Structures are given as structure tokens and as C-alpha cells.
Amino acid sequence: MTERMLLLGNEAMAHGLVEAGCSVVASYPGTPASEILSGVAQWQARYQLPMHVEWAVNEKVALEIAYAASQAGLRAATAMKQVGLNVASDPFMSAAYLGVKGGFLVISADDPGPHSSQTEQDSRLMAMSAKVPVLDPDSPEQALELVKTGFELSEAFQVPVMLRPTTRVCHANQDILPGPVAPSERKALFEKNPARWAATPNFRHRLHLELEEKLARIAAWEPTAPRLFNPAATAPRAIVAAGVAASHAREVLCDLGLQDTLPLWQVVQPYPLHSGFITDILEKYDDILILEETAGVMELQLADRYRVKGKCSGFVPAVGELSPEKIAGIIAAFAGIPVEEPPVPPAGGGRRPTLCPGCPHRASFYAIKKAAPKGIYPSDIGCYTLGTNLGGVDTVLCMGAAVSQAAGFYQAYKLGGEVPDIVATIGDSTFFHAGIPPLIDAVVQDARFVLVILDNATTAMTGNQPTPALGWGAGGVPTATVDMEGVVKACGVKFCKTGRPGDLPAFTALVKEAVSFARTEGLAVVIARQPCVVDRTFKGERPPRRKVGISDDCNGCRYCVDQFECPALVYDEEQKRVVVDTLICTDCGVCIDVCPRMAIEEVGQ
Ligand code: SF4
Ligand code: SF4
């Protein structure tokens, strides 16, 4: 017996997974998808379900673990953000050919905007490229339902299915009545079939043909057929919308008084678009507006440049989220009616994003700049990307790229001229995710740089999920651990030393030692180990607190504000000097070693 609940979109999808009898779920955290797996762990505990739920080391591993469970006949799922799907793209593409046995759902959450991603890429395009059907929910409630539909589709046609929510679905809350949950009765049973599961190129050709046949049948599967929102509307033009854009379009039609005249079709399966639907709307309408995020996936399949208006045609912006205001303007222009310009909100004061007060990464970047002031600083994906504002981050490409880019800079400079100091930074979780293969490569190729692993004992940016070094997994269950120093040394690194960045003088000396080693001997790794200041899951010992105050020696030079940028150090325009904002100061005491006039001093508690 279930009851109505106010659920986050990610929690709703998690509930859909347990309702559908999904037995194995694996994920790597990434906004906006992170709460899907923690939601599954929460429901698993609540309903006492026999499931395997894990934070995997990266998205490729997560997908492969879940896929194997599907090959063994269980329902399985993996969840990730859209750039995570890039990491998992290799098994994703191949799994489409091999097909599945138990239902297999790949949830890839997109981030139009983007709010917290490197790209605005559309996972539906990746699904199209892999020839995997994709479902596009407009709300948390529909996302929950489409999880169950996705498993039915997957098992009916023996294919992986993608569910593609966007940030507005993942992070919206909705009052939902979830369905009943019961433990899955299935037991894993892998039936050997090398011609399929270990297919050679000859068999792959046949599997590709089978996949094309499946797609043709999926394009006529009734449960995912497009629906007309307003059947009474009979204009010679129509809107076709998917995902959150469909939800906005419904509201906008009513606001503009067009709900009885302008037909609105909602598509939940943008790929493969239903073939009968394509024929029907091209026969019925002279003018078709496509509303979808973020690329023109449905528009590409309609392939009528003269009647179809969308992202490819330039009628709908190709970049950014489709907000209700934007959609109102687009629909009004399509319908040929005037629309009032939305009021422009007053510009907020705002401040640029920065690391938290007391964040150990701030001390690490400060030490790196002291140790290698003219260095090149490749960095990586994580909250430490905010080190850009501190001048400690020169490049950010993708997970793990800090290590390979540091090696690439070294090899490029070595070809001629003087090699500069190169100090790369990577987070602990990112190191385990994608930093190990490039570290091995750098050792083998004798690339000489310093790698600082910013080990704050958590995956901080996505909500403090565990890393392989911590000894606990999804839902807090105990796990084995992997020793970071041991991994670094096993990669062949000769210099591997650990320090605490909050002890700024000692840590700066350690980074200088590493820089000197890299100049003459080879690759050096420094592990900057200090827990994340806002991680409530951290159970170990924290560094001693040192309450600080500003003495009369402060001459208002702003060095600490500009070079260290702790938000708790505030320049007071009236006093023309710095003061400590005691509401947000965490008493880390690191700034004591920053002021050149020693005007920041420890004071009693
Ligand atoms: S505390 Fe020190 S560094 Fe900061 S403004 Fe005052 S004198 Fe300058
Ligand atoms: S002690 Fe200094 S560096 Fe630490 S949070 Fe307070 S003001 Fe910031």
C-alpha cells in the first residue's frame, strides 16, 4: 500500500525502478542525475528489497555491471549525467547490437542551460547514433511511469532503452501516488550464446540487421505513440513537443487562448519517432513547430525542411533551455499573434562562484601558485574547477584530462625550448574515475610534472557520495577500500607524498619539493589530504579549529581578499581594511599564513 508523496524527479525515477522490479542499479554521481541512485538505496532500505545498488568507479563500469545483470535475465539500470554517457558510450553502442535479456534501462540526464555541465549535449542524439529507443519525460510523475514503460519496451524488443530526463524533471518536486513495490522473483540465469554475447564482426552484421528490424517495430509500438493534447483543435498547423518543452507548451497554449485551435502533439518516444505519426502529420498539417531540448532529434526524423520549424531550421534557438517565456514567444510567432515581452527582472548584485570558506582546495591552489608561480595548471572536473578564480586552474576539459593534458604540455614543450613547471590538479573521486590510465601513460612516457590529488575524502560537488578509498557505498553499506598511495605507486610513480593543505607552510614546502623533483627526476604526485569542510558524512578526525581576527596592522592592501579569496574575509569600505565574517568563517586558520603583514592572527575561542 503506497501513499501520495512529494518526490524529487530523481526520487520518483528511483521509485519507478523499484516498482518495476529492477534488481541491479549502478551509477556514478553527476548533476542532475545524482539523487537517482541514492533514491534507489533509500527505497531499497525502506521496502527491504534484495537488490544490488552501487556507486561504481565510473559510468562505463556502471553500465557494464548493470548490462551483465540484464544478460543474466534480471531487470537492471544505470544512471548518469549526459557527459557520463560519453564515458559509457563504448558499451552503450555495443549493447544495442547484442540486445538484452532482462529489461535494461540507461537513464541519461541532460542539462540544457547548462547549469552544471561542460556541454549542453542531447543524449537523445547519442541514443539515435547507437540505435537505442529513447523516452523523454515531461515531469517527475511521467518520468516514474516511463521507467516502467521503458522496462516493458526493453523486454518486448530485447533492446536497451534510454530514459532521458532533463534538469527540470530531475530537480522538480511533484505530489505523486507511486505504485506498489514487491521484491523481484527472478533469479540470475546466464544462458551461454557466444554468437550473440561474444559476437564476431560477421555476427555483428546480422545483429545490426536485427536491430534495424526492432527499431521499425518499436516505431509502431502503441504504448509510446504520440498523443494529441487538444483533440478539438483542427488548425492547418500544429505543434509537436517532447519533454519539459511539452509541459511548458501546454501551459502557454492555455495562457495564449490557443488551446482550442492550435493542435499540440506530445511525443514521449522521440527516437524512433513513430513512422505512422510522421506520415499522418506531414499529410495533415501545412506548418509544424517542433519544441524539444536540446537538439533537433524529432526534427531530423521529420525531414521536411519546408514545413517543419525547429532547431535545425533556426526557428527555435539552438542553444540554451527552452523556458516558458521563450516558448511563449516562439508559439506566438508561429501562430502569428502578438505576445507581450516578459518583464525583465532587475539585475541582482551577485558575486562570482568561489570555493567554500575553509575549503582545503583553496589552500592547495595557494600553495601551488607559491611553489610554481609561472607554471601551467591543468585541472579537472569537480568543485575545484572554482580554482580558476584563484589563478590555479588553466584548463578544464573532461574527467581525467588534467593528467593527460599535463603530459601533453610536457611533451609539446620538450620538443624545443624550456619546459615550464606543470602542476596538475585532480579530485580523489575523479582520480579513481579516469585519472589512473593517463598516470600510467605519463610514467611510461617519462612525462615530468606534478600531479596534486585533491583528496577531500568525498565526491563533493555532486552531494558527498563515497569514493573507493572510504569503505562505504550506496546507502552507507560497508565496502572494501582501495589505498590511493598504493595505487599511485603501483602506477610506477617514484615520488608520492601526502600532506595537509591546511598546514600551509608545510604543504607549500612539499609542493616545492615535488616541483623540484619533477624538474630533474620525473613525475611527482602530492596527495593533498584534508576532508571537505561541508561533508556531513565524514566520520574521521578534523583539523584543529583556529579562530582568527584582524589586528590593527591591517593596512587594507586587499592581498588576502584578491589572492586567497576566502568569502569570510571581507573588505570593509568604510574602515578601509579587512574584517572577518564570523557567520561563515569556519575557523580553519589558514589565512593566518597568507597576510604578508601578519595582520591575521589567532584569537581565543
Ligand atoms: S589582512 Fe593582511 S592581506 Fe588582508 S588586507 Fe589586511 S594587510 Fe592586506
Ligand atoms: S579562518 Fe580565515 S581562511 Fe578560514 S574560513 Fe575563516 S576567514 Fe576563511
pLDDT in tens, 84-107: 999 999 999 999 999 999 999 999
Ligand 2 mean position, distance from CA 52 (Å) = 42
Nearest atom within ligand 2 for CA of residue 590: 3
Nearest atom within ligand 2 for CA of residue 586: 5
Nearest atom within ligand 2 for CA of residue 600: 2
Quote the mean pLDDT of the chain: 95
Which residue puts its alpha carbon closest to atom 8 of ligand 1? Answer: 557
378-383-389-395 Cα dihedral, nearest 10 degrees: 20
Ligand that comes closest to the CA of residue 356: 2
- Spatial distance between the Cα atoms of 389 and 563, rounded to a whole number of angstroms: 9
Which residue puts its alpha carbon closest to atom 6 of ligand 2? Answer: 585
- Spatial distance between the Cα atoms of 391 and 563, rounded to a whole number of angstroms: 8
pLDDT band, very low/low/confident/very high, at 200 (cuts 50, 70, 90): confident
Residue 578 near residue 550, CB atoms below 8 Å: yes
- Spatial distance between the Cα atoms of 440 and 493, rounded to a whole number of angstroms: 8
The pairing of strands 524-529 and 495-499 is parallel
Q: Quote the pLDDT of residue 91.
A: 97
Helix/strand/coil for 436: helix
Q: Which of the listed residues 504, 548, 552, 558 should we mutate to test ligand 1's pocket, taking the one with most ligand atoms within 8 A of CB?
A: 558
Nearest atom within ligand 2 for CA of residue 546: 1
Ligand 1 mean position, distance from CA 394 (Å) = 26
Assess whether pLDDT exceeds 80 at residue 343.
no
Ligand 2 mean position, distance from CA 485 (Å) = 29
- Indicate the burial class of 303 (C-beta count within 10 angstroms; 0-12, 13-18, 19 or more): exposed
Q: Which of the listed residues 553, 595, 598 should we mutate to test ligand 1's pocket, taking the one with most ligand atoms within 8 A of CB?
A: 595
Grid look-up 532547431 returns: 311
Contacts with 143 (C-beta within 8 Å, 6 or more apart), sequence order:
9, 12, 13, 16, 137, 163, 165, 169
Which residue puts its alpha carbon closest to atom 3 of ligand 2? Answer: 591
Q: Quote the pLDDT of residue 1.
A: 56
Tell whether omega for the bond before 165 is within 30 degrees of 0, i.e. cis.
Answer: no
Q: Quote the pLDDT of residue 344.
A: 77
- Spatial distance between the Cα atoms of 187 and 206, rounded to a whole number of angstroms: 30
- Indicate the burial class of 149 (C-beta count within 10 angstroms; 0-12, 13-18, 19 or more): buried
Residue 260 near residue 208, CB atoms below 8 Å: no
First and final C-alpha spacing in the chain:
53
- Spatial distance between the Cα atoms of 421 and 396, rounded to a whole number of angstroms: 18
Whether 580 is in the pocket of ligand 2, judged by its Cβ within 6 Å, is: yes
- Indicate the burial class of 48 (C-beta count within 10 angstroms; 0-12, 13-18, 19 or more): exposed
- Spatial distance between the Cα atoms of 109 and 83, rounded to a whole number of angstroms: 9
pTM for this prediction: 0.93
Whether 566 is in the pocket of ligand 2, judged by its Cβ within 6 Å, is: yes
pLDDT in tens, 346-397: 777 677 788 999 999 999 999 999 999 999 999 999 999 999 989 999 999 9
**Cell numbers given for 328:** 511563449
Q: Quote the pLDDT of residue 130.
A: 97
Alpha-helical (H) ranges within 433-503 are 436-444, 484-490
Ligand 1 mean position, distance from CA 597 (Å) = 7
Phi-psi region of 382 (alpha: psi -120 to 50; beta: other; left: phi over 0): left
Ligand 2 mean position, distance from CA 603 (Å) = 12
- Spatial distance between the Cα atoms of 491 and 442, rounded to a whole number of angstroms: 9
Whether 599 is in the pocket of ligand 1, judged by its Cβ within 6 Å, is: yes
Residue 599 near residue 550, CB atoms below 8 Å: yes
- Spatial distance between the Cα atoms of 150 and 494, rounded to a whole number of angstroms: 50
Residue 155 near residue 103, CB atoms below 8 Å: yes
- Spatial distance between the Cα atoms of 59 and 434, rounded to a whole number of angstroms: 10
Ligand 2 mean position, distance from CA 429 (Å) = 25
Residue 423 near residue 450, CB atoms below 8 Å: yes
Assess whether pLDDT exceeds 60 at residue 314.
yes
Nearest atom within ligand 1 for CA of residue 557: 8
Q: Quote the pLDDT of residue 201.
A: 87
pLDDT band, very low/low/confident/very high, at 199 (cuts 50, 70, 90): confident
Instruction: Tally Cβ neighbours within 10 Å of residue 397.
Output: 14
- Spatial distance between the Cα atoms of 169 and 243, rounded to a whole number of angstroms: 9
- Spatial distance between the Cα atoms of 75 and 164, rounded to a whole number of angstroms: 18
Ligand that comes closest to the CA of residue 544: 2
Q: Which of the listed residues 548, 561, 580 should we mutate to test ligand 2's pocket, taking the one with most ligand atoms within 8 A of CB?
A: 548
- Indicate the burial class of 394 (C-beta count within 10 angstroms; 0-12, 13-18, 19 or more): middle
